[in-house]
Amino acid sequence: MISTLTRTPDRAIIQFYELYRGPLLCYIYYRIRDFDDAEDMVQDVFVRLLTYELKLDESTVKSFLFTIARNMVIDYLRHLYTKKEKLSYLYDEMETVTTHSADVEALYHETMQIYQSSKQQLSPKARKVYELSFEQNMTIDEISRNMSITYNTVECHLFIARKKVRSFMKQALAG
């Protein structure tokens, strides 16, 4: 069926979409278990294919599409787990506060000051990566494009920054 694809890029992409949309949707949905997000991600896979600047090879386009989808699923799950980790940490900290709202507000301001101080311990680039991820909810891929650095560099900066901020905050809140 692929061998019958026309040489026009637009027409080829339409045919790729018709051919691989269903399998990609199943692949993504099976991993993230959210149908609406899976549909959005399938659309994003084909948007990335549209912006791909090199010539498409009909024999490898299927693996290329699934590689894009796999990377998007990984980003999605990392973002989801990071969000759950942040919420879990905040819930754990807030459970210990059982006094008046003035105390809660004071604790909030103190925690925010500690958080700001912990970010200052990071290198400028790591701090920017961390803020884009944590405060602006950008994915690693978006940060990579925004800062014009490689995906792996962003991943490394984010891993180190999270570890340092978490350690600093735990230490400061314990003492």
Q: How confident is the model at residue 71 (pLDDT cuts 50, 70, 90)?
A: very high
Is 69 within 8 Å of 41 (Cβ atoms)?
yes
This prediction has a pTM of 0.47
Percent of the chain with pLDDT over 70: 83
Three-state DSSP class for residue 7: coil
Q: At what angle do helices 151-174 and 61-95 cross, to 10 degrees?
A: 10
Q: Do residues 173 and 114 make contact, with C-beta atoms less than 8 angstroms apart?
A: yes
- Is 106 in contact with 114 (CB distance < 8 Å)? no
User: Is 70 exceeded by the pLDDT of residue 97?
Assistant: no
pLDDT tens for 8-61 read: 467 778 888 899 999 999 999 999 888 888 999 999 998 888 887 677 778 888
Quote the crossing angle between the two packed helices 61-95 and 35-51, to the nearest 10°: 130
| Domains of the chain, earliest start first | 1-75 (1.10.1740), 97-175 (1.10.10.10)
How many Cα neighbours within 13 Å face the side chain of 12?
A: 17
**Above 90 in pLDDT, residue 107?**
no
**Secondary structure class of 119 (helix, strand, coil):** helix
- What's the alpha-carbon Rg for the chain, to the nearest Å? 21
Q: How far apart are CA 119 and CA 150, in angstroms?
A: 22
| Eight-class DSSP state of 8 | -
123-133, pLDDT tens digit by residue? Answer: 889 889 888 88
Better-predicted residue by pLDDT, 170 or 20? 20
Residue 120 to residue 114: CA distance in whole angstroms: 10
